[in-house]
A and B are shown apart, each in its own frame.
Chain A
Amino acid sequence: MAPTTTREIFLSEGGGTGGGSQNLHVNLGPQHPAMHGIIRILAELDGETLVKADVEIGYLHRAFEKDCEVGGYNNAIPYTDRLNYVSPLINNFGYAAAVEKLLGIEITARCAYIRVIMSEISRICDHLTCIGATAMELGAITVFLYMIKAREFLWELVEDVTGARLTISYGRVGGVRADLPEDFAGKVSAAFKETREVLDEVHRLLTGNRIFMDRMVGVGVLSRQETIAYGITGPFLRAAGVAHDLRRAEPYWAYDRVEFEVPTQPAGDNYARYLVRMAEMEQSMRIAEQALRDIPGGPVNVDARGRPLDPATYVDRGKQGQTEGLLLVPLTLSPNLQGQSRSEIEQVNVHDKRVVLPSKEDTYGSIEGLMNHFMLIMDGYGIRPPVGEAYYAVEGANGELGFYVVSDGSDRPYRVRCRPPCLPPMAALHRLLEGGMVADVVPTFGSVNMIGGELDR
């Protein structure tokens, strides 16, 4: 029916004109100041209230799964670094563990502890970044600077062990690249002391802060049933009251030998997620300290048939002239390769010639070592798991990070699938935002902790 009265014609008010006011379609993103990543939220607004939100992702799709099929199994490790780029060590180890499951090999005890320690340090970095960035968008820029300061101390630790700050490519199939440096425990305790001071200050700045609580309490609520229906795991699920943590439910590596709590909160809103993350950082530090205390030192050498070999016996046999299986030319390595001499490599990598590169002394000092190195590196050779598939899930900083690897028996993975822990919360984001106000998008999106590399892969 055509508009006839003056009000209808000029002000678009009235029954036949489609309503008094229309909802406004606003585009948040893909490039927006919240420094989390690039997604696009097509919001339909009725005044300040968000009526409908359509989330569009894929702006950082970098073809991780396709690129993993191009090279060998260890070639995929740098791609996994860049999945969840704030906690890259967890991705490395998760992928390596999936391939190890496919191969059926069991890592050494020392390697299990090292993976636990480095995963926990990575998890703390992730939570620091998440809370820091969220707080900065709410105006608490000081909190951001403090958290990044704490993260720098932890990145110095990571740099000591792996050589790089962020994209570390430290995990390998069968172990890790190199052993921990000397006096790592001392450096860790110094860094954790600083981190605990920072967390203390942030607690005093944010946790009871009226403005912070007003913006975060009761905002972005998702009920427990819906959280489970959306397949959400990790701190999001724990903030909805479900005490599910893969480190507790299906312990892997050394998590069954350390004591820690799984913090939960009943409310399911942004504030609950903040509290869970703050508590988890303290638990992570506890785990790392226990693991450093209990880490089995000393070489756990096994010979080619899997029998444990005492290093003193090894040397004695050489002196007695029983040299079969022993190497003739001992090499000394440069100090830059700290952690990569034979004794240390064998502590942290499985003694499996099909998978692990021989130490440099063997590679440069004997024909067998050289051939072993060749067979693992050259095209067409390399790590060849048996035909089959395996799924391995670790507890990433955002939830269950799973890797599903399918092998066809050749040296390249046939299919590598990364189950991203932040995809389910992003699928549920429209449920979190609808009904709230535009200003609530910022803390909600921050507390979801979307990491673009992992979401879009």
Chain B
Amino acid sequence: MDGSSILQRLRERFGPEILETHCLRGEPAAVVTPPAIRPVLEFCQTEPELGFDLLVDLTAVDYLKFPGREDGPRFEVVYHLFSLPHTHRLRLKVPVEESEAVVPTAVGLWPIANWLEREVWDMFGIRFDGHPDLRRLLMYEEFEGHPLRKDYPVHRRQPLIGPRN
């Protein structure tokens, strides 16, 4: 299926919960509201014509310093899906406010989401509702803050052991 037909199926099924769709550079992408992301992912996985059986990537982008998006929702959680039988891709984006940074988890659908969501929690501070074990993946437990946020300066260090001790 080509990009626009995939987006068409999603729009038919979910209507107003798909906030916008676009297909730039051949990459179909849909923006979905946070409560609807779990049913959308399930539909993408189980619907035979879509058949997205591989969750390729689950990440987030912090739009705090993006020119033109300062008053919109701060984060956007991005899902990249791939279908092995049909070899097509899809990108789903979920805008998340900073004050209410919670998104339903995808762990029940794809077990890899466990680690990917832990990484998003670690780097951005976005919680995943229903995740069995949400703790840091890459940074150490004593680390304070979420490093990939735009307001975390790249040089701020929090050493675990100091010089020569």
- Chain A interface residues toward B at CB < 8 A: 57-58, 61, 63, 65-67, 69-70, 101-102, 104, 226, 228-231, 233, 242, 244, 249-250, 387-388, 390-391, 393, 400, 402, 404, 406, 408-409, 414-415, 417, 419, 423-424, 426-428, 456-457
Q: Which residues of B contact A250 (CB under 8 A)?
A: 87
Beta-carbon nearest neighbor of B81 in chain A: A231
Shortest CB distance B164–A (Å): 20
- Cβ contact within 8 Å between A66 and B147: yes
How many contacts A-B (CB < 8 Å)? 91
Give the complex CA separation of A400 and B89 in angstroms: 13
Contact among A57, A228, A249 with B138 in the assembled complex (CB-CB below 8 Å): A57
CB neighbors of A among B52-103 (8 A): 53-57, 59, 61-62, 65-68, 78, 80, 82, 84, 87, 89, 91
CB distance from A414 to the nearest CB of B (A): 6
- From A250, A391, A393, A423, name the one whose CB has the most chain B CB atoms within 10 angstroms: A391
A61→B139 CA distance, assembly (Å):
7
Residues of A with C-beta under 8 A to B84: 228, 242, 244
User: Given A66-B148, A230-B112, A231-B112, are A104 and B25 also a contact pair (CB < 8 Å)?
Assistant: yes
**Chain A facing B: main interface SS:** mixed
Given A230, A390, A409, A424, which contacts B67 in the complex, CB threshold below 8 Å?
Answer: A409
Q: Tell whether, in the assembled complex, residue A231 and residue B154 are in contact, meaning their CB atoms are under 8 Å apart.
A: no
Q: Which residue of A61, A226, A242, A404 is within 8 Å of B80 (Cβ)?
A: A404
Q: How far is the CA of A393 from the CA of B80 in the complex (A)?
A: 11
24 chain-A/chain-B pairs, Cβ below 8 angstroms: A63-B147, A63-B154, A66-B147, A66-B154, A69-B154, A70-B154, A102-B25, A228-B53, A229-B53, A229-B111, A230-B110, A231-B112, A242-B84, A250-B87, A387-B68, A388-B25, A391-B80, A391-B91, A402-B56, A404-B78, A406-B61, A408-B66, A414-B65, A427-B111
State the CA gap A388–B29 with chains docked (Å).
Answer: 12
Residues 115 to 135 of chain B near chain A (Cβ within 8 Å): 115-116, 123
Contacts of A249 in B (CB 8 A): 87
* Residues in chain A near residue B80, CB distance under 8 A: 391, 402, 404, 419
Question: Which residues of chain A are near B61, meaning CB under 8 Å?
Answer: 406, 414-415
Report B-chain residues with C-beta under 8 Å of the C-beta of A61: 138-139
> Residues of B at under 8 Å CB distance from A?
24-25, 27, 53-57, 59, 61-62, 65-68, 78, 80, 82, 84, 87, 89, 91, 110-112, 114-116, 123, 136-140, 147-148, 154
B13: shortest Cβ distance to chain A, in Å? 23
Residues of B within 8 Å of A101, CB to CB, are 25
Chain A residues within 8 Å of B114, by CB: 427
Q: In the bound complex, do residue B55 and residue A231 qualify as a contact, i.e. CB atoms below 8 Å apart?
A: yes
Give the Cβ gap from A427 to chain B, nearest Cβ, in Å.
4
Residues of A contacting B59 in the complex (Cβ-Cβ under 8 angstroms): 404, 417, 419
Among A101, A390, A409, A424, the one with the most B-chain Cβ atoms within 10 Å of its Cβ is A424
Query: What is the CB-to-nearest-CB distance from A422 to chain B, in angstroms, rounded to a whole number?
Result: 12
By a CB distance below 8 angstroms, the chain B residues around A406 are 61
Would you give the shortest CB distance from A74 to chain B, in whole angstroms?
19
User: Which residues of A sit under 8 angstroms from B53, Cβ to Cβ?
Assistant: 228-229
Bound complex: CA A423 to CA B113 (Å): 11
Q: A230-B112, A427-B114 are in contact. Are A419 and B56 (CB under 8 A)?
A: yes
How many Å lie between the Cα of A341 and that of B148 in the bound state? Answer: 41
Q: Report Cα–Cα, A406/B62, bound state, in Å.
A: 11
